[in-house]
Amino acid sequence: MSNSKAASRYAKSLIDLSIEQNSMEAVRADMASIVSVITANPLLGAILSNPIIPLDKKAGILKDTFSGRVSAVTDLFLKLIVSKGRSSIVFETAKAYLSQYNALKGIITAEVTSAIPLTEANRTEIITIVKREVGANEVLIKEKVDEKLIGGFILKVGDRQFDASIASNLNKLKKEFSHGVV
C-alpha cells in the first residue's frame, strides 16, 4: 500500500474518531500545527521517515515536540502511528486530515496568481464568485504574485483554472498572428 493511501486511511480513521470524541476542531488545529512544525523543521520529517531510528526514539521526539500542545486524541494518534511503525506518514496523514476536514466542511482552497497583490475588494469578489460557482461554504485564498503576468490573474480551484492574465492573452494573440488567423 502506498504511503499516500495509508495516510488517507489513517486520516479518515482520525476524522471518524475526532467526530466520535467531539474533538474535530481541536484535532484540525493539531494537524495544522503538525504540518507547520514539520514544514518548518525538515529534520523532524527526516527523522520520522528514517527506518534506522528506533521507534522509541521517534515516540520520544514526538512526545517532546507535541506533548501538552495537542489534544488527547492527537496525542493518542501519534503514539499509535509510531507504535505501528508508520511514523514516516505522520506529515502526509496530517495533510490528508486537513484535506478531508475541508471537504467535509465544504471549505475550498482557491489559488490566485496575480501581477500585483490582491486588494480586499478583489479577495471578496473572488470568494463570492467561487462560492457561487462551486457551492462552497467557505473559500480559503492562497495568493501568489508573479510580475510576469503583466496584469490580470490566474484562478485555480481544484482541477479547474481560469486564466485572465494579460500575458496569456498576449500569447494567444501571438499564436493567432503566427498562424495568420487574425
Task: Cell numbers for 24, please give them.
Answer: 474535530
The predicted pLDDT at position 155 comes to 83
Distances (CA, A) of 23 to 14, 19, 71, 72, 151: 10, 6, 8, 9, 44
**Residues whose CB is less than 8 angstroms from the CB of residue 171 and which lie 6 or more positions away in sequence, other chains included:** none
The predicted pLDDT at position 116 comes to 86
Quickly count: other Cβ atoms within 10 Å of residue 111's Cβ. 15
Helix/strand/coil (H/E/C) assignment for every residue in 63-124: HHHHCCCCCHHHHHHHHHHHHCCCHHHHHHHHHHHHHHHHHHHCEEEEEEEECCCCCHHHHH
The predicted pLDDT at position 1 comes to 57
The predicted pLDDT at position 180 comes to 65
The predicted pLDDT at position 182 comes to 52
Q: What is the dihedral of CA 117, 118, 120, 124, to 10 degrees?
A: -160
- The C-alpha atoms of residue 62 and residue 181 are separated, in whole angstroms, by 62
The predicted pLDDT at position 4 comes to 84
pLDDT block averages, 10 residues each, the chain of length 182: 85 95 95 96 94 94 92 94 94 95 90 88 87 86 85 81 70 69 54
Helix (H) or strand (E) holding 149: none
Q: How far out from the chain centre does Cα 126 lie?
A: 19
Query: At how many degrees (to 10) do helices 72-83 and 55-66 cross?
Result: 160
